[in-house]
A and B are shown apart, each in its own frame.
Chain A
Amino acid sequence: MELTNYLNAMRDASGVPFYPVVFQFFLVLTFALHIMFVNFLLGGVVVSIWARIKATPNSLRLSKALARGSTINASLAMVLGVAPLLFVQVIYDPFWYTANSMSAYWAMAFLLILAVAFTASYVFYLSGSDKAPGASGWAVLALVALLAAAAVIHALSVEQLLPQMWKTWLISGQEVNASGKGLYAFEWHRFLHFIAPSIAMAGVYLMLYAWFFNGRKDYDRAYLQETATLGANLALYATAAQIAIGLWWLFSVPMEFAFYKNPFFLVGAGMGAAFFLFLMTARANPIKNAPVAALIAFLSIFLMSYAREALRMTYTGKVGYNIFDYKLSLDWGSTVLFLGTFVMGIVVMAYPILVAVQVAKNGKESNNEGLAKLATALPVVWFLVVAGLGIVISLKNGTLF
């Protein structure tokens, strides 16, 4: 059985319930959102350690704010990570399942390591006083664990890109290794290319923080200015480093891929460069420029995520795999269910977020009566519609009684 046959034979017999390009789009979009919060989390922990150790009143205050933010970023990063995890299994299942099965203990360890990281970041936040977070050792533990988790998931991803190596890794002589203990691939440049942006994104995060609380009486101006300037500098220098690492990675991609000519890559890289140039000028007034910086940063991440996907398509295309010829078993019903729920979710979410922003900025909420009513009613309506559908179908199929 040769590799291409294996890959295509392992594709799920059920096919995919909608056009692969749609799954691919959601895969990239949700991955970009996920990695952005991972960056906020990782970078935030780094800065909070530094600020905790520096131990001036302002830096302790910042450290505390970041520690609290880390717990929220952790939750968001995790829940946002679920979606790309789901979609990758839809269109790249032969790669995903093979790599995970080969390194099964690592896939399990990944979660255990994350549990350590999250616990440590909670302890760091909760064990402190009003003015400072807990001992920096906790944050260091969280950082080490987060990096370890990143390394594992990185290795699992690279294993997927090298299917021609799989047999070499698993088979030696007459033995097939079924221990699940091996971790087989690691690429420093690629790994660093995911880690370095954390510092840049922590910079953006600090700028946003200063922008957000700017004008509130309990936040003094000098503190916010100092924070935003720190943020802009971090973002600028880390982005410069990121560009260098990106070039290093680019040259390590097999030349035959001609990836430097790939339009997805060019657009993504262009956006990254634009971010760098913008930061050069934005440094003069980092508080005011924060929202635009955040927007450009997210666009760079999103486009780079598309470039990452284009690279995956190139790698998998080399071994005769193409997501666009996946067997299609169109299912409109469930597709509409998701898309409708997705849009509804955005509307519902807008309400609590709006309230939170109003409270944080002005100390009190404004009048949101219309949105409030809509947001509280929609989940109930959702349930009534789905339950109604369920009852009709159950009666039709005779499964209710």
Chain B
Amino acid sequence: MQLTNRAKVLEKKPMTLAERAYLPAIFQGLSITMRHFFMKKATIRYPEETRPFSPIFRGLHVLKRDEQGRERCTACGLCAVACPAEAITMVAGERKKGEEGLYREEKYAVSYEINMLRCIFCGLCEEACPKAAVYLQPDKMAPPRYERDEFIYGKDRLVEPVSPDARSIRGIQLTPEQAEALRSKLA
């Protein structure tokens, strides 16, 4: 019975002498591997070289500041509600007198934590935020760490630095200690 006419009839031919001798096939194989020996290598030597990211890549979060360097987040909790992975927790607090230069709104996030092990990098928090405070950066990733605790990113690692610093080297978010060490090395 023929279901489609794509079926291919295979003839079982007896092997020729060259095929049975096996040596020509070996030389064919050897020439193929030798060709690959001189080919361009596919390896990307990671820490020194990085793969180019797509411009819409959703990577590590950042909490943005406004033009005057004030934190934009008002701890409304919309991002936490939107988050399908329940990765975001925060504690809200009221801005004191004299802190106007630090926080834009009267209510701000005293603590703001994202668990990068829970996060699925869907970007819904970014879409939910009314203050354009949280963004997923297109060029940074959460690097591997040894301890689970280290994947809970607090404000120390999320808030955009006032001035760009060594954190952004190689596109990796460093821990504060690592950043400190790097800064003192660079200085």
- Does chain A bind chain B? no
B interface residue numbers (CB < 8 A to A): none
Chain A interface (Cβ < 8 Å from any Cβ of B): none
